[in-house]
Chain A
Amino acid sequence: MTQRGLRTIKVDYLARVEGEGALTIKLRGDEVQQVELRIFEPPRFFEAFLRGRSPMEAPDITARICGICPVAYQMSACHAIEDALGVKVDGPLRALRRLLYCGEWIESHVLHMFMLHAPDFLGYADALTMAKDHPDRVKAGLRMKKAGNAIVSVVGGREIHPINVRIGGFYRVPSKAELHKLLDELKWSRDASLDSLTWMAGFEYPDFSRDYEFVALTHADEYPFCEGRLVSNKGMNIAVREYDEYFVEEHVERSTALQSSIKARGEYLCGPLARINLNFDRLSPIARTAAKEIGFGIPCTNPFKSLMARGIETLQVFDEAIGRIESYEPPDRSQVKAEIRPGVGYGCTEAPRGILYHRYRIGPDGLISDAKIVPPTSQNQKSIEGDLRSIAPRLAAMSQDDATWLAEQTVRNYDPCISCSTHFLKLKIERE
């Protein structure tokens, strides 16, 4: 739309993200006047729901925040409550938790890569249109996702909103036979994910780069899931319990989701691109070798290559899942005993989209008196706006349709989950 020199590109609904939101970019020539990511999904008040509830309920309540990453919410809640209760889950139960997390990463990453993001790079409006020309790729994606669903179903009790996770471990541990039934499909999927990675490496990636502060967990000898220190490429190296000292959330009027930043520094990026930049040497040999063979090197500061990062991580978790199952011996107990006591606990785990922080205070009555949950999409909002601000001059030189396409693709680099962050999109670009 053109009005007295003002050109507006408007997309009323940003597809292929979860939740309700909109985006406005105002341009004067090549100069960016304003970039606003507006989130108007209703706030969900989960932190308030948790007050007055038993700490034992936190994993199940918070799992309901998200249908694609419930395990992440369960794991962050478990670790935070266990921190408060002085409980340590290790050995085979810890390994089983990692296996469950592998399942969730597969579900989420594969869905995003094949159904949501690959169409952007290949010029298709959606996965259905892409499936007409690339049926075997889409079918492979669905089959890989099914393999991830199967892990979550067996270990978590069901594929969406698992019910088998509890403070201290699990209600029931799977038998060796139940897990070994998954192996054939997981091995097929590992090969398919390697092949898919080569396919995705051949996509045309926009030439774009920014000086990000990547933030992720890092662990001495594992690719991060549940434990480790919070580190960044700009010198941060803190314990999870120091999170509130370094990060701040603020409300902006245009959004029902809080926006996170690093105190005195500002925006940061979490998720696959941050994880892989900060943990490349923790990848399994097959994933590290594959990354090198497709030419993915670090540092990688092109957010569009988050697709490749997800692909490498997908290979990583298929490989880890196979190894965990092949070496699995059912633990002699399904849980570590946990007794409720007053205290404060901190937990941060790597959800598919990035770090997910939980903090709980348990009062003298043994009930949760205060809860704080910071989802990855909230943490990435400023970085998404930063990317759009940087790419906006390029949008100014594009046709309406092309500009809209690239702006949406820029947002989808982050696989934002607005429903989770509301604690997200309609797109409007105004040009003068």
Chain B
Amino acid sequence: MKPTVRVIGLGQRVAGDDGVGLAVVDELCSRGVADDVDLVAVSDASDLPWLLGDVETVVMVDAASTNGPSGQVLQLSLDELRDAEVRPVSTHGLGVVAAVELANLLNLSTAELKVHVVCITIEQPREFTTTLSSRVSAAVPVAVDLVFELIGGKACTNPK
């Protein structure tokens, strides 16, 4: 079945809590999603423009470094994310908002595309670890529930 929804987890597994977006996609995969939901893990945001073109809804799940406590699940608009992005394009790649805007400019996505952003707050990664902190780990099921809510409860009983 052609996907109509794509959930994209962004992050780096080796940077501890920065990998929470990928952990959310892992959990979605374990719980099972409907056949028209495509689950993707992305480490390089320059890959994003190519993932925004052939579906009706995209949910991006990423870690967000804030001054507040870690482990909070936030739903942000692209405008709110734009205000928060420090560096849209750098030597190390594209920012998420820049990637979405590029996709629009390059006609890789349509104006009708619904984009949701789910962020899990983290502290600035400071060590090499492939595991999540307890607070961020506890936020994963909360983020998963929010993603299911955003994609209209497209769960399934037969996990992929």
Contact = CB atoms under 8 A, between A and B. Distances in A.
A68 interface: yes
B44 A126 contact: no
A67 interface: yes
A354 to B, nearest CB: 14
Nearest to A63: B14
B101 A67 contact: no
A132 B89 contact: no
A161 B105 CA distance: 29
B50 A16 contact: no
B109 interface: no
B88 A128 contact: yes
A87 interface: no
Size range of the chain B interface in the assembly: 20 to 34
B106 A138 contact: yes
B128 A116 contact: no
Contacts of A417: 91-92
A128 B47 CA distance: 15
B91 A161 contact: no
B50, B87, B89 — most chain A CB neighbours (10 Å): B89
Nearest to B94: A115
Given A146-B50, A161-B14, A16 B102 contact: no
B43 A160 contact: yes
A139 B128 contact: no
A18 B50 CA distance: 24
A136 B87 CA distance: 24
A421 to B, nearest CB: 11
Interface in B82-100: 87-94, 98
Interface string B40-80: 00011011011000000000000000000000000000000
B91 A17 contact: yes
A18 B102 contact: no
Contacts of A138: 102, 105-106
Contacts of A149: 44, 46-47
Contact of A135 (B50, B87, B98, B107): B107
A126 B105 contact: no
B128 A142 contact: no
A142 B46 contact: yes
A66 B12 CA distance: 12
Contacts of A385: none
B56 to A, nearest CB: 22
Contacts of B87: 15
A135 B88 CA distance: 18
A89 interface: no
Given A64-B14, A127-B102, A158 B43 contact: yes
A248 interface: no
B88 A131 contact: no
A128 B50 contact: no
A431 interface: no
A308 to B, nearest CB: 19
Contacts of B108: 139
Contact of A67 (B47, B49, B93): B93
A237 B128 CA distance: 38
A128 B89 CA distance: 9
A416 interface: yes
Contacts of A161: 12, 14, 43
Interface of A: 15-19, 61, 64, 66-68, 107, 111-112, 115-116, 126-128, 131-132, 135, 138-139, 142, 145-146, 149, 158-161, 415-417, 419
Interface of B: 12, 14-15, 43-44, 46-47, 49-50, 87-94, 98, 101-102, 105-108, 128
Given A128-B88, A135-B107, 12 more contacts: A16-B89, A17-B90, A18-B90, A18-B92, A67-B92, A131-B105, A138-B106, A139-B106, A146-B50, A159-B43, A161-B12, A416-B91
